[in-house]
Structure 1
Amino acid sequence: MTFENLGLIEPIQLAVESEGYTTPTPIQQQAIPIVLQQKDLFGCAQTGTGKTAAFAIPILQLLSGQIRERGQRKIKALVLTPTRELAIQVADSFAAYGKNLDLRHLVIFGGVKQKAQTDALKAGVDILVATPGRLLDLMNQKFITLEHIKFFVLDEADRMLDMGFIHDIKKILTKLPAKRQSLFFSATMPPDILALANTILVNPAKVEVTPVSSTAERIQQSLFFVSKADKPSLLAHLLEDKSIESVLVFTRTKHMADRVAKRLHREGVKAEAIHGNKSQNARQRALANFTNKEIRVLVATDIAARGIDVEDLSHVINFDLPNVPETYVHRIGRTGRAGASGSAISFCDAEEVKSLQDIQKLIGKKIPVVENHPFEADINVPVRKSSGGSRPQNSNRPQPAPVSGNRVARNSSQPAPRNTSQPAPRNSERRWFGKPRSKNS
């Protein structure tokens, strides 16, 4: 199937072609015709499946076919996103696909002064992309009314709930017209997401692609057992391999993201951190530097990383394993896109064994373990008992790879370990983010 088969009007077809797209992704193939039929939609799709175009393209087409009333433009379409980065990405998609149409769009988010946004609102817009906080703020100031909304999109609904936006969403829903077309997208479908969808959608069609439990086969996954204290040293060691060109490193906390970025900078690796405590300008600058290859490593928290879409991302490194197993799939799915290969490396310390077990249960396979690396920790992974009896501990770890000289036999995409003929430094001699460790560290 091509975009020509989807019944798109010529201005949008030309815009899509100019972007270099010819074949729609599975979710676009399924969702675009449904939205064009003006039905509500429940889409289950994770980042990287092309879902933004799946709703942006048909909304643009439907809006272009409506007769615009005289006077100031009224907001007819509202797209709600959890993060500023994702909001900007969605707005860019509307700009790209709608560049040949007489429609105006605007993106609004917090963390910046509101004047430029309110000036644009006064001039009139057709499509508004917003984060919940700034939207409610400007609604309370009477800069925005939602009474003319014809199309409502709730994007990344699961992340919305994770970030505590449920009350904001409910407030916004009360201001929307009852007669509207609603599109609901989520990467996962736990009970609270289904309950929220039922309050928004009316007899929706359902589209589900790339189940969250699946991990792309083209992504090479590997696991390093390492003590928590040695994670920074292991990361710096892996980055000595210059074939690792661009790396998105995930940490669990904002504080750790900053510490990792500073440590890498001291090691001579160009790196920046991105998280919710950074100003909008700092976040956009870091993302631009990473996209333009001016820095090699971007260290991010999960919330800040939503909306990051970087082409040719060669590696994802889980400095910390996520507590939610579905998040692992989202993280590693940021590499190996558009048919390219990618590598996902995960660190696991003794406190993260339960998270590892949950991840492996979700994806239905065990992540290959890299052994004999300089910072290897002896970590036991209990094996669940089966009807045939229990197996010995650590059975998820494969037999040691053949060794030739001082190098472990490995896949060519796997970074080489240091020469292990010399003993690794004692714990007391290793350095924690550039500072000597004490017994109490």
Structure 2
Amino acid sequence: MLDHLSRGSMTLQHVRYVVLDEADRMLDIGFRPDIERILRRCPEERQTLLMSATVPDTIKRLVNRYMVDPTHLSLTPNVMTVDKIRQSFITVDDDKKFDLLTKVIDREKPRQCLIFVERKRWADNLYKKLTKQVRGVAVIHGDLPQSQREKIMAGFRSAKVHVLIATDVASRGIDVTGITHVINYDLPMDIENYVHRIGRTGRIGKDGVAISFVTPEQGGHLTDIEMTINRLIDEDRIEGFDAYTPRKRYDRPAGEAPAADEPPAAPKKAVFGKRVKKYSDRL
């Protein structure tokens, strides 16, 4: 389209409706300059519809710049996660994540597994290591050519690929009903992405398994996820494998006054209307 616009073989002066689908995905893979060039060519008197699974700051800036008095429609269901998905987390140190992953795959023996990481480079690194130990592994992210992504997805749909490593954005087009397991190798920073990730399993009433790797430092973030989905996530362990080194913690004896420089205790958060211990106290 940009090529036609630059050569004058196309005009957008009569456009009345502009639809941006998967807007967060397009911005993530670097299409923002192209999108803005096209929008600037469109008439100001138009209706713009923007669809996005998440609404990060980049989307909000696009909305504020190119939309007039927009209406926000949220289609998020009241029940955030599917009851048939067995959710659990495993506490793990960063340097033990890969060993934990191989042990989880060996224990669970998934028919088809989707592994989520936060960054493209991390996805490539994990693929290089995992493909040496597990058969039928592939990786997909926005830096791969479209033809290669389509080939990988065809292999995943036909079950020739058993384990697919993906980033959040690249996974948007994954609609495979046979996914039995979702593993959050990296806990998503955007809580909404947690819901989108685990929703890839347990399709059409089938049972599914979602396992999240959580470092001890991410306890507060896990608690935020639990608050969002209104559900406590069960803790899991691999028998015989020490996934993390317990942090030393000083428990002040009853009646002893706190030190002057000791920060105040964080208030307990509520799940299901009850006060519960925070994740860091459940280790």
Query: Same fold by TM (over 0.5)?
Result: yes
Alignment of 1:190-201 (within 5 A): 193=59, 196-197=62-63, 200=66
> Does 1:395 find its partner at 2:281?
yes
Please tell me the residue identity of whatever aligns with 1:171. Answer: R
Deviation at 1:163, TM superposition (A): 4.9
Residue 379 to residue 329, structure 1, CA distance change in 2 (3 Å): farther
Matched-pair identity in %: 38
Please tell me the residue identity of whatever aligns with 2:38. Answer: I
CA deviation string 1:42-78 (max 9, x = no partner):
xxxxxxxxxxxxxxxxxxxxxxxxxxxxxxxxxxxxx
Deviation at 1:288, TM superposition (A): 1.1
Deviation at 1:357, TM superposition (A): 3.7
Cα distance in structure 1, aligned partners of 2:52 and 2:225: 19
Could you say which residue in structure 1 is the equivalent of 2:267?
385
Cα distance in structure 2, aligned partners of 1:337 and 1:392: 31
Deviation at 1:239, TM superposition (A): 1.8
Residue 372 to residue 263, structure 1, CA distance change in 2 (3 Å): closer
Cα distance in structure 1, aligned partners of 2:278 and 2:205: 39
Cα distance in structure 2, aligned partners of 1:151 and 1:396: 52
Could you say which residue in structure 2 is the equivalent of 1:117?
none
Is the 1:212–1:329 Cα contact (8 Å) retained in structure 2?
no
Computing the radius of gyration from Cα coordinates, the structure with the larger value is 1
Deviation at 1:212, TM superposition (A): 8.9
Could you say which residue in structure 2 is the equivalent of 1:296?
162
Could you say which residue in structure 2 is the equivalent of 1:219?
85
Is the 1:384–1:390 Cα contact (8 Å) retained in structure 2?
no
Alignment of 1:205-354 (within 5 A): 207-211=73-77, 214-241=80-107, 243-354=109-220
Is the 2:123–2:165 Cα contact (8 Å) retained in structure 1?
yes
Cα distance in structure 2, aligned partners of 1:318 and 1:285: 24
Is the 2:18–2:46 Cα contact (8 Å) retained in structure 1?
yes
SS state at 1:149 partner = coil
Residue 169 to residue 310, structure 1, CA distance change in 2 (3 Å): same
Structure 1 residue runs without a partner (length 5+): 1-134, 398-441
Deviation at 1:277, TM superposition (A): 2.9
Deviation at 1:232, TM superposition (A): 1.5
Alignment of 1:120-159 (within 5 A): 135-142=1-8, 144-159=10-25
SS state at 1:306 partner = helix
Deviation at 1:187, TM superposition (A): 2.6
Instruction: Give the count of matched residue pairs.
Output: 262
Cα distance in structure 1, aligned partners of 2:45 and 2:11: 15
Is the 1:224–1:348 Cα contact (8 Å) retained in structure 2?
yes
SS state at 1:376 partner = coil
RMSD: 3.4
Cα distance in structure 2, aligned partners of 1:140 and 1:368: 56
Deviation at 1:214, TM superposition (A): 1.9
Alignment of 1:37-56 (within 5 A): none
Deviation at 1:297, TM superposition (A): 0.6
Could you say which residue in structure 1 is the equivalent of 2:243?
376
Could you say which residue in structure 1 is the equivalent of 2:253?
none
Cα distance in structure 1, aligned partners of 2:146 and 2:176: 18
Please tell me the residue identity of whatever aligns with 2:281. Answer: S
Question: Which protein has greater RCO, CA pairs closer than 8 Å, 6+ apart?
Answer: 2
Is the 2:220–2:279 Cα contact (8 Å) retained in structure 1?
no
Is the 1:249–1:318 Cα contact (8 Å) retained in structure 2?
yes
Please tell me the residue identity of whatever aligns with 1:369. Answer: E
Deviation at 1:222, TM superposition (A): 0.9
Residue 237 to residue 289, structure 1, CA distance change in 2 (3 Å): same
Cα distance in structure 2, aligned partners of 1:278 and 1:229: 27
Could you say which residue in structure 2 is the equivalent of 1:170?
36
Cα distance in structure 1, aligned partners of 2:133 and 2:243: 21
Is the 1:226–1:376 Cα contact (8 Å) retained in structure 2?
yes
Deviation at 1:333, TM superposition (A): 1.8
Residue 266 to residue 391, structure 1, CA distance change in 2 (3 Å): closer
